[in-house]
Amino acid sequence: MARSKITLPPDPVIEAYKKAVDVTLLQENLRLTVEERFSKLMAMQKFAEELRRAGKKLREAP
């Protein structure tokens, strides 16, 4: 159903950002199933929330 091939010309700003993309992370992710990608995303969210909680506690400490 989805069309193939991107129709927009290369954007110089995006091309500059592409140089900073961590391809190893992408390769790792592309090996996962869709469910595994979502599970990883939820685990990252949980981790980020825990870090925020810890940071808040740290800032509130006397």
Partner 1 sequence: MTDFEALLRLLARARVEFIIVGGAAATVHGSSRLTQDLDIVYRRSTENLHQLAEALSPYHPYLRGAPVGLPFRLDAETLQRGLNFTLVTDLGDLDLLGEIAGGGNFEALLGHAQPVEVYGAQCYVLGLERLIEVKRAAGRPKDFEAIAELEKILEARESG
What residue ranges bind partner 1 (CB under 8 A)? 1-8, 11, 13-15, 17-18, 20-23, 25-30, 32, 34-35, 37-39, 41-42, 44-46, 48-49
Nearest distance, CB of residue 56 and partner 1, angstroms:
16
Contact 37, 29 (CB under 8 A): yes
> Minimum distance from CB of 59 to partner 1 (Å)?
21
C-beta of 39 vs 54, nearer to partner 1: 39
- The Cα-based distances of 26 to 8, 23, 51, 52, 60 in angstroms read 22, 5, 24, 26, 37
**Which two structure tokens, joined as six digits, stand for 46?**
């949980």
